[in-house]
């Protein structure tokens, strides 16, 4: 299988396979071969393999699953920065860089996601080693709480009083926040740079995030209360029998309204598909252009630079599209109605 072939002996997966090392940038090696947690690469592959094992009972899949799960314990950094990075070098499992606006760091957002992954892996194995690093990870997140003076500079607030603002990227050696900025007028003369100033960071990739240590601690406490025998009996990895997969891969709403279903049916009968607002777009690629190297600064805090920049940006002109996400949501609503979950 392709997935098993692409797995590193240590347990993780690269961002790209077959492996490539042909895109170094500004003296840094091509990051695509690094072990990757970013965008849930490794966690989602683990989840996929568990489903394969769960549905088909392929015994050769279990060992790669376990090897990958236990690697995630190793990838957690030691205190005081006891979180997880987005990617790691293969030879020494150290945090590594990725794109030019993704510095080598411990990522607070990724750390939140991995805390929940560790809880799930505990449920699958009943092995308390998956829980052992969580208190230190929560402590790390709390230690990164920004003072009110920095929060005011961020110009964004959370409606949840339990949430705290933390830098997204933390230097794994010094603990300093790494805020990402950009200068120049377009992709040709623009350049990303890192400093400790939370103001005027890039718009397309947030340099800070809100996290909720209190909720993490509550969820952690709930997981610890689960009876271990219950875990052993319900885990697809520990049972000798095949465990049925969930009826639906995606979330099925428990209750929908008659008006909602009528509207969905009317829309699809009229045109044969559902239309949604286009969330993001990009400028079409144009060739034969001589870049403007004037060094103007309007690129610094925008999603894109000039009309020749093909990076995606929010669509605000009312364009319509056929959205896969909307299609799945609407189909699940109709399925819920077929099952009688209508009020």
334 and 230 within one domain: no
Show Cβ contacts of residue 183 under 8 Å, excluding neighbours closer than 6 positions.
190, 191, 193, 297, 299, 300
343, pLDDT greater than 70: yes
pLDDT tens string 261-315: 999 999 998 889 999 999 999 988 877 666 666 655 667 778 887 777 777 899 9
Per-residue confidence (pLDDT) for residue 288, from 0 to 100: 64
Residue with tokens 């689960």: 226
Cα(64)–Cα(39) distance, integer angstroms? 20
Q: Do 228 and 270 reside in the same domain of the chain?
A: no
pLDDT tens for 173-193 read 999 999 999 987 777 778 899
Q: Is residue 51 part of a domain?
A: yes
Question: How far is it, in rounded angstroms, from Cα 124 to Cα 62?
Answer: 12
- pLDDT for 58-112, tens place per residue? 889 999 999 999 999 999 999 999 999 999 999 999 999 999 999 999 999 999 9
Give me the chain's average pLDDT, please: 91
28 inside domain? yes
DSSP state of 28: B
Q: Does a structural domain hold residue 340?
A: yes
- Within a domain: residue 182? no
Q: Which two tokens stand for residue 293?
A: 């190297």
Asked whether residue 331 falls in the same domain as residue 228, the answer is no
- Residue 13's domain comprises 2-154+212-234
Question: Same domain, yes or no, for 230 and 262?
Answer: no
Q: Both 80 and 221 in a single domain?
A: yes
**8 and 139 both lie in a single domain:** yes
Token pair belonging to 320 = 């319509």
Strand ranges in the chain using DSSP code E only, listed in sequence order: 35-36, 87-88, 106-107, 164-167, 169-170, 179-183, 191-195, 208-211, 276-277, 280-281, 313-314, 320-321
- CATH assignment at residue 42: 1.50.10.20
Residues 275, 219, single domain; the answer is no
Residues 227 and 338 in one domain: no
Residue 74 lies in a domain: yes
pLDDT per residue as tens digits for the range 315-333: 999 999 999 999 999 999 9
Same domain, 218 and 273: no
Q: What is the pLDDT of residue 289?
A: 64
Report d(CA 262, CA 284) in Å as an integer: 38
Helix (H, G, I), strand (E, B) or coil at 55: helix
Reference 98, options 167, 26, 45, 166; nearest CA is: 26
Top pLDDT among 44 and 203 is at 44
State the distance between the two ends of the chain, measured CA to CA, in whole angstroms.
46
Specify the number of domains making up the chain: 2
For the entire predicted model, the pTM comes to 0.89
> Is residue 123, in this structure, part of any structural domain at all?
yes
216 and 68 part of one domain: yes
- Listed range (36-45, 135-144, 149-158, 185-194) with the worst mean pLDDT: 185-194
Which pLDDT score, from 0 to 100, does residue 296 have? 59
pLDDT confidence band for 9 (50 / 70 / 90): very high
Please report whether residue 163 resides in a domain: no
pLDDT of residue 291: 64
DSSP state of 192: E
CA dihedral 150→153→155→158, nearest 10 degrees, is 0
pLDDT above 80: residue 215: yes
Q: Are residues 117 and 254 in the same domain?
A: no
Is 135 within a domain? Answer: yes
Q: What is the pLDDT of residue 4?
A: 96
Percent of the chain with pLDDT over 70: 96
Nearest Cα to Cα of residue 108 among 181, 209, 217, 216: 209
> Do 104 and 218 share a domain, yes or no?
yes
């Amino acid at each position: 299988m392709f997935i098993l072939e692409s797995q590193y002996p240590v347990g993780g997966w690269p961002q790209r396979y077959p492996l490539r090392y042909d895109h170094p940038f500004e003296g840094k090696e091509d990051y695509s071969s690094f072990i990757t947690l970013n965008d849930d690469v490794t966690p989602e592959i683990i989840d996929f393999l568990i489903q394969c094992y769960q549905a088909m009972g392929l015994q050769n899949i279990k060992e790669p699953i376990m090897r990958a799960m236990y690697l995630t314990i190793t990838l957690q950094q030691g205190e005081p920065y006891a979180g997880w990075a987005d990617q790691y070098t293969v030879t020494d499992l150290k945090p590594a860089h990725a794109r030019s606006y993704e510095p080598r760091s411990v990522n607070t957002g990724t750390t939140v996601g991995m805390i929940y992954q560790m809880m799930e892996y505990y449920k699958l194995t009943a092995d308390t080693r998956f829980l052992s690093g969580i208190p230190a990870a929560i402590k790390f997140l709390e230690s990164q709480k920004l003072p009110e003076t920095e929060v005011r500079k961020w110009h964004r607030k959370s409606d949840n009083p339990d949430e705290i603002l933390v830098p997204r990227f933390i230097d794994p050696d010094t603990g300093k926040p790494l805020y990402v900025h950009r200068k120049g007028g377009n992709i040709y003369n623009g350049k990303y740079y890192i400093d400790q100033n939370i103001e005027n960071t890039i718009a397309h990739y947030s340099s800070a995030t809100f996290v909720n240590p209190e909720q993490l601690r509550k969820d952690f406490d709930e997981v610890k209360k689960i009876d271990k025998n219950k875990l052993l009996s319900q885990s697809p990895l520990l049972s000798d029998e095949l465990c049925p997969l969930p009826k639906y891969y995606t979330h099925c709403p428990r209750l929908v309204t008659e008006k909602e279903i009528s509207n969905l049916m009317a829309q699809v009968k009229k045109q044969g598909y559902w239309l949604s607002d286009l969330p993001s777009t990009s400028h079409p690629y144009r060739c034969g252009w001589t870049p403007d190297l004037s060094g103007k600064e309007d690129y610094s805090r925008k999603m894109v630079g000039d009309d020749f920049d093909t990076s995606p940006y929010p669509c605000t002109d009312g364009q319509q599209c056929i959205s896969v996400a909307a299609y799945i949501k609407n189909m699940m609503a109709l399925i819920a109605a077929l099952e009688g979950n209508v009020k």
